[in-house]
Chain A
């Protein structure tokens, strides 16, 4: 029995037995919300997988498409009173399916790119770490290839805060994508390479730009992968550090002249880190003078922006998740949408014009208003 099969038995089975007839988180599932299909809800995924186990269904193109339609965003688990790790169970089932060569073609294509280039976007190997510092900043692939302005601005803000990090993982996936698609060993390889760089940098703290990165280097490790977080190293979001410096008066901002109403979009995976909701809002309020609007799907019930594995395996659902975020902002009365996640920014920006919205990177906004 291979590693994926063992995980399937140990993690998936009890969870699926609990989830297959439970409907208590369906109201928060973003994929269920945009598709309205019972099959594409936590209950639908649970029952589909459990029914394959019972011989009522088989893995074929239809059922595999169902399996790969989950956004792996963690919303169901965040709302589960008994903390069922359904996203982990789905990921381990995908690993089982992928090992049988039954996963969607797109999954294998992305997997190959991750193995070869460490990212799914460009045929470039990641840059290697240069120098050493007390603090490292994990850049990743989204900030490198999808929205580089976020990185430039984050560095400017960190410098203003007295932090000069060494860059690691420049152009390398954080491992989440490989894990979500069902390739845990590749995820582990990517994470381990980043940790090797971290060790070489001598850093005692690793900063990350997004809640998605934070999740990848915290819960994803402990719950899905067999890689241990380096001892004695602290993990922190840049946004959290900036908030500390802003609250302490180290960072100061001038007010924005932009009077248009805005809304902050909690990035994908935010609800996997419940304590992070206030920091970006506080910083944003420190710059914007216009009224801030809140989305319906925010904070503890924040939906993803479309930047997950779905963008490769279910483009249509991924797009609808993006449309839904933009429609939510539009209905809230916003004209400007602000967030910091490069992947979210890239997805939102592709469709923002259709909703009459302007997309604004939070790191750029803050950096542009530094005093």
Chain B
């Protein structure tokens, strides 16, 4: 007999509940923000919805992760950061891709 551990993982997706693991160890620290007072777009803290709302950032995504911005499950990822999306899909997004994306995002004025 075993305990009935709830399998809530699917609800996390179905309820558009965002996900992240926490202040993950940054491996993408790169250029300083374009503006010293306003956070630049990045892979650690910027939500996908904000990246999609910025045409330059969307172009960066299309360049490095073709297909992501038209993915059928995009609606369920909108409140995730790219780091969280990487963590939610093990092996699908290599770390070097995130590094490259972050370097390009750092060039976008905010």
Q: Is A bound to B?
A: no
Q: Which residues of chain B have a CB within 8 Å of any CB of chain A?
A: none
Q: Interface on A for B, CB 8 Å cutoff?
A: none
